[in-house]
C-alpha cells in the first residue's frame, strides 16, 4: 500500500519536472513567432498556469541575466531536493 503511495508521489514530481521543461521549450517556440495550431497555444497556456506558482517567485528573487531565465534550472534543482526529502520521509514511515 505505501509502495503505491511512494510511486504516485514520485510520478507527480516527475510530471511537474516535465511540465517545467515543456514551459521552457514552449517559451522558445512562442518567441520563434511560428504559426501553430490553436491547441498548442492552449496546451502551453495550461502548462504556464501550472508552473507559474513555482517559477514566478524564483524569477522575482533571481535577476534576469540578459534574457537568460535561470528560474527553471533552480526550480528543477529545488524540486529534486524536495522530492528526495519527501520520498525519504515516505520510505521512513514504512
Rounded to an integer, the average pLDDT of 28-43 is: 84
Whether pLDDT at 94 is above 60: no
Is 66 or 14 the better-scoring residue by pLDDT? 14
Tell me the pLDDT band of 1, cut-offs 50, 70 and 90. low
- pTM of the shown model: 0.87
All 3 cell numbers of residue 65?
541575466
d(CA 52, CA 37): 23
Tell me the pLDDT band of 61, cut-offs 50, 70 and 90. very high
Q: Domain segments of the chain: what residues?
A: 2-92
Average pLDDT of the chain, as a whole number: 90
Amino acid at each position: 500500500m505505501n509502495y503505491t503511495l511512494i510511486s504516485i508521489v514520485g510520478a507527480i514530481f516527475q510530471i511537474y519536472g516535465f511540465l517545467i521543461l515543456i514551459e521552457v521549450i514552449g517559451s522558445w517556440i512562442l518567441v520563434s513567432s511560428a504559426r501553430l495550431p490553436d491547441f498548442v497555444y492552449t496546451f502551453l497556456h495550461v502548462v504556464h498556469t501550472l508552473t507559474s506558482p513555482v517559477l514566478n517567485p524564483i524569477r522575482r528573487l533571481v535577476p534576469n541575466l540578459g534574457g537568460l531565465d535561470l528560474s527553471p534550472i533552480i526550480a528543477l534543482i529545488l524540486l529534486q531536493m524536495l522530492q528526495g526529502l519527501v520520498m525519504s520521509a515516505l520510505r521512513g514511515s514504512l
